[in-house]
Amino acid sequence: MRWLAVILFVTLAACTTKMDKAGRTESTVDPRYLLKSEVDRIADTNRAEVVNGLLLIADKLYKRNPKEWKKSGAVSREAAVERLRQRTYRNWPEFTGLREGAVASLAFTEAYAGDRVMALMYGLLSMVDAAFEHKEEFYILDSLNELKLYNSARNMDVAIWKLGHDRTAAGELFLLSNELDPANRNLSFEREFGRVMGLLDFMAKVVADRNGRTFSRLSQSVASAIFLPVSFLK
């Protein structure tokens, strides 16, 4: 009886009703949604929002640091952001196989001469890809790991701190982000990163509840933090 109720619920959720010009209603069933639970649909939306938020941050960073996209050989800022959007279908020879925190850290390394925005955002996006098991859509038999999602959220906090504090030997920030001038204060980067963190934390809680697990929130001093592992977690 329990499985019958689940099947009935999923079937109803997959149905859509449209009205034609004559005023008649017609119901259709999208077969994809027959294989999706409520958590799967939440994961679909959550992942899309997180990725779009990070791409927005990438675009804003390029606007504040226009010399960076030119280092990668892109023809425009938009082309550089689009390369990030298509990251799973592109080659990344400049990173020599590095991903996640190892790539993101290059943005704050004095010796690195490449596109720092690309390094940081590719690193963060590859963390998110790993947290969502490199999938764009989720179905009933798919599973996620709440700790991967949680660590990804903490890594956004690390990125915020590094953007505002890590400097070159000459005392300059590696990348410009928030404008802290009292006369023209702008914290839009911090707000968008905060929104992305909130989405990832929410998804971690949803997944933990579905898996019947609890996890301890790690305390980490951001000032001395490194990017936490994601893909290596089981």
pLDDT by 10s per residue, the chain, length 234? 443 344 344 444 555 556 556 656 565 555 555 567 888 899 999 999 999 999 999 999 999 999 999 998 999 999 999 999 999 888 899 999 899 999 999 999 999 999 999 999 999 999 999 999 999 998 886 889 999 999 999 999 999 999 999 999 999 999 999 876 666 666 789 899 999 999 999 999 999 988 887 766 655 555 557 899 999 876
* Helices 188-211, 146-165: crossing angle, 10 deg rounding: 160
pLDDT of 110-143, one tens digit each? 999 999 999 999 999 999 999 999 999 988 868 8
Q: Of how many residues is the chain composed?
A: 234
Q: Which amino acid is at 214?
A: T
Q: What is the pLDDT of residue 1?
A: 46
Backbone φ and ψ for 17, nearest 5 degrees, come out as -120, 130
DSSP 36: -
| Domain ranges across the chain | 1-35, 36-224
The rounded Cα 161 to chain-centroid distance in angstroms is 17
- Report CA 139 to chain centroid distance, whole Å: 20
DSSP H or E run through 127: helix 116-131
- DSSP notation for 158-206: HHHHHHHH-B-TTS-BSS--SB--GGG-B-HHHHHHHHHHHHHHHHHHH
Q: What pTM, to 2 d.p., does this model score?
A: 0.82
Nearest to 132 by CA among 57, 206, 35, 217: 206
